[in-house]
Every structure is written in structure tokens, then in C-alpha cells.
Amino acid sequence: MSPAAWVLFAAALVLAALVGSFTCVVIDRMPYQRDEPDEYGDLWGARTWREVVGGRSRCDACDAPVRSTDNVPVLSYLVLRGRCRDCGDRIPAFHLLVELLVPLLFALAFWRYGWSWALLPVAVLIPPAVALAVIDLRTFIVPTRIIWPTFFVEIAVCAAAAGLLGRWDLLLGCVVGLVTFALPLFVIWFIHPRGMGFGDVRLAVLVGWTCGFYADGSLPASGILVAIALFVAAVLGVVVGIGALGARGRKAQVPFGPSIVLGAYLAIVLAAPILGAFGASATGA
Ligand SMILES: [Zn+2]
């Protein structure tokens, strides 16, 4: 890369860290604990976006507003050693993890796709996907308030990228990806609704659509790529499940969202070598 390209990349990383910081706000504020489970048995609900973005960040323990100088992504957490400046209570560790994870996932995607239109769909997916995964881990809910807006943005972004690349066939790959990821989960949910939440099916719609963009417009290749993403998600899900059952007993709830997100992300970033093994190519690589 040229020096100018490095400066641009560094600026993009700073932006990704700021977006990661906002992702923390969403993870922190959107879920709220219900007094009793709702009709789906969920103990957590999701606040509206208006409630999420309104007002300043406050300490969970002492309610002191977070100073703007203590709101710098990654650095503030390290300087404060993960504790509130006012009361010394622990700031949840996911703040540091998410503020690092969003730029890291962006950098890996950039390493594969560079400054191309093909970078856009995955770059847009990363922050909401991280938010959904961490919220699912903490609360076992997968808020539709994040999924559907992100899905409609992804439709627009994939359409814009396909148009700018002059490759409308890429959108057919998206449709195949959506069906390949979401249909098996829908069938499992339909047969055994207690085994998996419908939120996981919605999440599969979002990530399947986006993942399908990366198979270079080949419909069989989209199916293969997304089936591999789903397979990886299922394997991860089993591992997480065994861990959760081991740690919390037979009745433990098992979050599937993080596995779905990670499976899809890995398939997108590794689309070129995966599809190369099948004699197919990845979009923009
Ligand atoms: Zn405090």
C-alpha cells in the first residue's frame, strides 16, 4: 500500500473503534430485564432505539455520567484499568473486547477485500453482528430492532455494491445464501421450537443474505459457501452447547447467535480459499 493508503486505513481503524464504542452502548442499553418472562419465555426485553441513543452513558453502579475524556475507545478502559473513575466499580469486560473486536474484524476483512466495493457488505455487517452476538451471549435474546434495520441496510448496500460493480447477478447469490442459511434453521425451529429461538432464524436471514454476496454470482458456489458457514456455525454451536451444559447444568440456555455470526464471518473472509477448493471464485478476490 502507498503511504496515503496507510493513512486512510489508519483513519478507517479509528472510525471502526468509534463504531465499536457505539456498539458497546447498544449492547449495554438495549436489553432490559423483565419482571417476569414474556410469552416466549424471554427474561429480557429490548428497548427502543430512541431510548438507546438518548442521554449520556452512566456508570451501572453509581450512576455517575461518563466524562467525555473517559469515553475514548480502548484507551479509556486501559487508563481506568476497567474501573469507574467515580466509584471504582468494574466496567464490564465486553467494553474492551468489543472496542478491539470491531476494528480487528474490519482489518481482517480489509486484508481480504481491500478498498473495493466488495468490502462494503461485510464492513456494514460487522458492528450489528457483534452487537447481536454479545447481546445473545449475555441475555439470550436476539433483538429484531437490530436485525431487520440491518437486513434492509444490507439489501441496499449489496444492491449498491452490485450496481457499482456492474454485477447484478451477485444479488441472486444473496438470495441463495439467505435460503441456504435460514431454511434449515427454520425447519429445525418449526419441528422443535423449544430447541432454538426464532431470533436465530432471523439472524440467519441477515447473515445468509450477506454471505451469499461473496460467491461471485455463482448460485451453486453461494450454496456451497453458505452451507459451509452454517456447518461451521453448527459445530461451534455444539461446542458452546456442551460448554454451557457442562458449566450450568442440563437446563442451561445455549446462545446460538455468536456461532451463527462467527460461521458467516469466517466464510466471508475465507471465501476465496474455500471456493477455490471447489474450483469457484470469490467476489472481488
Ligand atoms: Zn461508578
- Give 106's pLDDT tier (boundaries 50, 70, 90): very high
Please report which confidence band the pLDDT of residue 208 belongs to, taking 50, 70 and 90 as the band edges: very high
Condensed to tens digits (0 to 9), the pLDDT of residues 156-176 reads 999 999 999 999 999 999 999
Encode pLDDT of 138-149 as tens digits: 999 999 999 999
What is the DSSP secondary structure assignment for residue 18, as one 8-state letter?
Answer: H
263 vs 248: CA distance, rounded Å: 24
* Integer Cα distance of 20 and 102 in angstroms: 5
Looking at residue 220, its pLDDT comes to 96
In the reported structure, the alpha carbon of residue 59 is separated from the centroid of ligand 1 by a whole-number distance in angstroms of 5
CA of 87 to the centre of ligand 1 (A): 4
pLDDT of residue 251 exceeding 80:
no
* Ligand 1 centroid to residue 61 C-alpha, Å: 5
- Rounded-to-integer distance, Cα 166 and Cα 132, Å: 32
How far is the centre of ligand 1, averaged over its atoms, from the C-alpha of 60 (Å)? 7
Which of 211, 182, 180 minimizes the C-alpha distance to 283?
A: 211
**pTM of the entire structure?**
0.94
More confident residue, 104 or 195: 104
What is the average pLDDT across 52-58? 86
Considering only residues 53 and 202, tell me which one the structure prediction assigns the higher pLDDT. Answer: 202
266 vs 50: which has the higher pLDDT: 266
Expressed in angstroms and rounded, the spacing between residue 126 Cα and the centre of ligand 1 is 30
Beta strands in the chain (DSSP E): 31-33, 44-46
Where in the chain are the domains? 3-276
| Mean per-residue pLDDT over the chain, rounded | 93
Distance 64 CA to ligand 1 centre (A): 6
- Name the grid cell of 146: 437490530
Spacing, Cα 91 to ligand 1 middle (Å): 8
Ligand 1 center to 54 CA (angstroms): 19
Higher pLDDT among residues 250 and 273, named by residue: 273
Q: Which three cell numbers stand for residue 263?
A: 460461521
pLDDT in tens, 2-46: 899 899 999 999 999 999 999 999 999 999 999 998 888 888 999
Ligand 1 centroid – CA 43 distance (Å): 26
